[in-house]
Amino acid sequence: MSNTFSIGGDLTVGRLGYGVMQLTGPGYFGWPADQDNAIAVLRRAVELGVTLIDTADAYGPLVTDDLIRRALHPYPENVVIATKVGVTRPRPGEWAPVGRPEYLRQQTELSLRTLGLERIDLLQLHRVDPQVPIEESVGTLAELRREGKVRHIGLSEVTVDQIRAAQAVTPIASVQNLYNLTNRTAGDVVDYAEQEKIAFLPWYPLAGTGMADPDGAFAATAARHGVSLNQLALAWLLRRSPVMLPIPGTSSTAHLEENLAAAAIELSDEEFAQL
C-alpha cells in the first residue's frame, strides 16, 4: 500500500493529511482562545511530514487561512494547501451554501490574499448550492483555473451523478465527503473516485470511535496492535482505498502526533474484513 497519492496526477502528498477546522473558536467561528497553540500545531504537522493541509474560507471565517499563513508562509515546496469556497457563515453553527459565480470568484480572491498565495493548489466547491446548477458553479472554478489562480478543482459532499456533471465541465481532482467506519453511505463515491483516480478526502474520519463495543472486533483489533481506537479508524480508512486521504483535525499537538502515527499500522486482510 502506497503512503502517497498524486492529486490531479501531479501533486504528490502523504496520504495522511491534517484538517484545520478545529483551530477556530466555539462553533468553528471566530478565533481560538490560544492562537500561539494553533500556530504551534500547524508547524508541528509539517515537522512530522504532513504535506496536505485542508482548510476553507468558512472556517472562522478566514481564521484558519490566516493562521496557516502566519505559521507556515513562505510555504515549503512540498506542502499542498487545499481550501474550499461556496459556504457563508452568518453566525456560529450556521453554514449556508452560496454557489453564485460572483461569490465564488470573490472568495477565491480573498483566500489567495489571506493565505498569501499566487495560486491555490486545490480549490474545492464546499457545497453544491441547490439554487445554482453545479455546472455553473464549477464553471467559475474552471475559469479561475484558466486564469492561473487555481491548479486543481475539487468537490465536497456530492453524489456520483454530481461528480459526473462537474467532470463534463472540467477535470475533477478531489472529492471530500463524510465517510468513516460508522458512516459508509458514501461508499459508492469512494469506489467511483478510485475508478477515476480522484483523491477522496473523508471528513469527520474519527466519528463513532468513542462508541465502540469494548468486546467487539474494533476494540480487540486495536488492543492486538497496541494502538488507540482513533489510530485504528485511520488505518482502516487508509486501507479502504488507495485514493483515500484522511485529514483528521485536532487542536492538540499530542493528538496530532497520535493520529499521524496511524500511517504505520498494517491491517491484515482478515482484520480489514472484520472491521
Q: What residue ranges do the domains of the chain occupy?
A: 4-211+242-251
pLDDT in tens, 116-170: 999 999 999 999 999 999 999 999 999 999 999 999 999 999 999 999 999 999 9
pLDDT in tens, 48-78: 999 999 999 999 999 999 999 999 999 999 9
Long-range contacts of 158-165 (CB under 8 A, 24+ apart): 158/128, 158/134, 158/189, 159/189, 160/188, 160/189, 160/192, 162/128, 162/134, 163/189, 163/192, 163/193, 163/196, 163/198, 165/134, 165/135
Catalytic residue numbers? 59
CATH assignment of 4-211+242-251, among 3.40.630.40, 3.40.50.300, 1.20.1250.20, 3.20.20.100: 3.20.20.100
Prediction pTM value: 0.96
